Structure 1
Amino acid sequence: MSLQWTIIATFLYAEIAFVLLLTLPIASPARWNKFFKSKFLAYISGQASIYFVVLIGVLILCLLDAIREMQKYSNIESTDHQHLDAEMQGNMRLFRAQRNFYISGIALFLLVVIRRLIQMICELAGLYAQSEANFRQAQSATVAAKTLLEKQGAGDEVAKKDIEDLRGQILLLEKELAKEKKDKEAVKSQAESLNREYDRLTEEHSKLQKKITIAGGDKKDN
C-alpha cells in the first residue's frame, strides 16, 4: 500500500474509532458538548469548515482515482487471456483499486456521519440544558405557588381567628347589656316600690294628722 492510501486507511480507522466513541454510552451529551466547546477545539472550529471542505475534496479525488483504476484494470481483465503473470498483476491491481475505492468511499461517508453526529450531540445537549432549565423554572413556580397558598391559608386562619374574637366580644357585650337591663329593671322596680311606700306613708301621715286635728277639736269642746 502506498503512503497516500496508508494515510487514508489510518484516517478511516480513526474515524471508525471516533464514531464508536460517539455512539457508545461512554459520556453524556453534555460532556461531549463541553468537550467540543473547549478552548482547543474552539480555536480549531474557527477553521473547521475549511478543514472539512479540504478533507471532502481530497477524499473525493481519491475516490475518483480509485474508480478510474477499477475501470482501467477491469477493461484489461475483460480482454483475451494474456500471459499468466500479466493477468495476475492485472487482478492484483484491480483488487488494490477496489480496496482503495472502499477505503476512500467509507472514509468519505464516515466524515459526513461524524459531522452530523457532532451537530446532533450539540443540539441534544442544548435540549437537555433547556429542559433542565424549564424543569427548574417549573419547580420554582411550584414552590412559589405552594408558598402563596400557605400564606393565603395562614391569612384565612388569621381572619377566622379575628372573626371568632369579634364573636366572643359581641357575646360578652350582649351578656353585659342583658345584665345592665336586669339591673335597670331591678332599680326601676325598687324605685316604684319606694314610690308606693312613700305614697302609703304620705297617706297614713295625712290620716294621722286628721285624727290629731279631730282629737284636738274634741278637747276644746269639753
Structure 2
Amino acid sequence: MTLYYTLVFLLLVAEMALFMLLIIPLPFTIRRRMFTFISENKFVAKLQYGLKITFIFILILFIDSVNRVYRVQVELAAASENAGNSGGAAIMGHERLEVQARKFYSQRNMYLCGFTLFLSLILNRTYIMILEVLRLEEKVKQYEGTEKNTKQAEKLAMAGEPGEIARLRRALEKKDQDLDNLKKQAAGLNREYDALTEKYAQTQQDGVPKKDK
C-alpha cells in the first residue's frame, strides 16, 4: 500500500473512532460542553477546513481508482478472449494472475477511498443532528426544567398554546430515530470493510499475492 493510501486508511480509522465518540451516551451537560467547545474553538475550525481540502484529494483518488478498476476489467476480459482464441491458456497463466492482482489492488483502493468519503458524510450529518438535538433538549428544559418554567408552560397551555411542547417532542423523537438509522449504516460499513480486509489477507502469502492453484 502506497503512502497516500496508508494515510487514507489512517483517516478512515480516525473517522470510525470519532463516530464512536459521537454516539457514546453521555450526560447532557458533558455533551453540551463538548459540542460547544468543538463549535467555538478556532483550532478545530482550522482543522475542519484542512480536512475539507483533504477530502477533495481523496475524491480525486477515488475517481482514479474507479478508472483503474474499469481499465483492468477491460484488460482482463481482452486477455481472456485472446487466450481462448489462441488456445494458449498455459502461457496466459502468469499474466492473468498479474492482472487479477492489479484488479484486486484497484478495487481495494476504490473501497478504501469510497468508505472514507461516505463516513465523512455520515460524521458531518451526525454532528449537525446532535447539535439540533441539544438545541431541542434545551428548549424542552426551558419549558419543563424548573418550577417557574413549568408554571409558564401551564399558562401557555391554558392560553391555548400547548402545541409548541408537542412539536418539540416530535422533532426530538425524529432526530433520535435518524441517529439510530445512522448507527445502523455505520455498522454495515464496518462489516463491509472487515470483509474486504479478510479477503485481502487471504490473497496474501508472506507479502506476495497467492498464485492460482
Same fold (TM over 0.5): yes
Judging changes above 3 Å, is the alpha-carbon distance between structure 1 residues 28 and 76 closer, same or farther for their aligned structure 2 residues? farther
For 2:54 and 2:61, how far apart are their aligned partners in 1? Answer: 11
For 2:145 and 2:37, how far apart are their aligned partners in 1? Answer: 26
Counterpart position of 1:13: 13
For 2:73 and 2:128, how far apart are their aligned partners in 1? Answer: 40
For 2:123 and 2:38, how far apart are their aligned partners in 1? Answer: 20
TM-fit CA distance, 1:83: 2.7
For 2:76 and 2:104, how far apart are their aligned partners in 1? Answer: 12
Report the residue type matching 1:89 in the other structure: E
For 2:74 and 2:38, how far apart are their aligned partners in 1? Answer: 52
Q: What's the TM-score once normalised by structure 1's chain length?
A: 0.56
RMSD: 2.5
TM-fit CA distance, 1:121: 1.0
Q: Deviations over 1:23-59 (max 9, x none)?
A: 232x245423321322796113433563343133112
Counterpart position of 1:167: none
Counterpart contact for 1:12–1:107, Cα < 8 Å: yes
For 2:122 and 2:38, how far apart are their aligned partners in 1? Answer: 24
Question: Between Structure 1 and Structure 2, how many residues are aligned?
Answer: 142
Query: Can you give the 5+ residue segments of structure 1 that lack an aligned partner in the other structure?
Result: 145-222
For 2:75 and 2:18, how far apart are their aligned partners in 1? Answer: 39
Counterpart position of 1:132: 141
Larger Rg computed on CA atoms: 1
Aligned positions of 1:1-222 closer than 5 A = 1-25=1-25, 27-28=26-27, 30-38=29-37, 42-47=41-46, 50-79=49-78, 80-81=82-83, 83-136=92-145, 139-140=147-148
TM-fit CA distance, 1:61: 0.5
TM-fit CA distance, 1:113: 0.7
Higher helix share: 1
TM-fit CA distance, 1:103: 0.8
Report the residue type matching 2:21 in the other structure: L
Judging changes above 3 Å, is the alpha-carbon distance between structure 1 residues 89 and 38 closer, same or farther for their aligned structure 2 residues? same
For 1:107 and 1:75, how far apart are their aligned partners in 2? Answer: 26
Counterpart contact for 1:36–1:42, Cα < 8 Å: no
Query: Can you give the 5+ residue segments of structure 2 that lack an aligned partner in the other structure?
Result: 84-90, 153-213
Q: What's the TM-score once normalised by structure 2's chain length?
A: 0.59
For 1:76 and 1:32, how far apart are their aligned partners in 2? Answer: 53
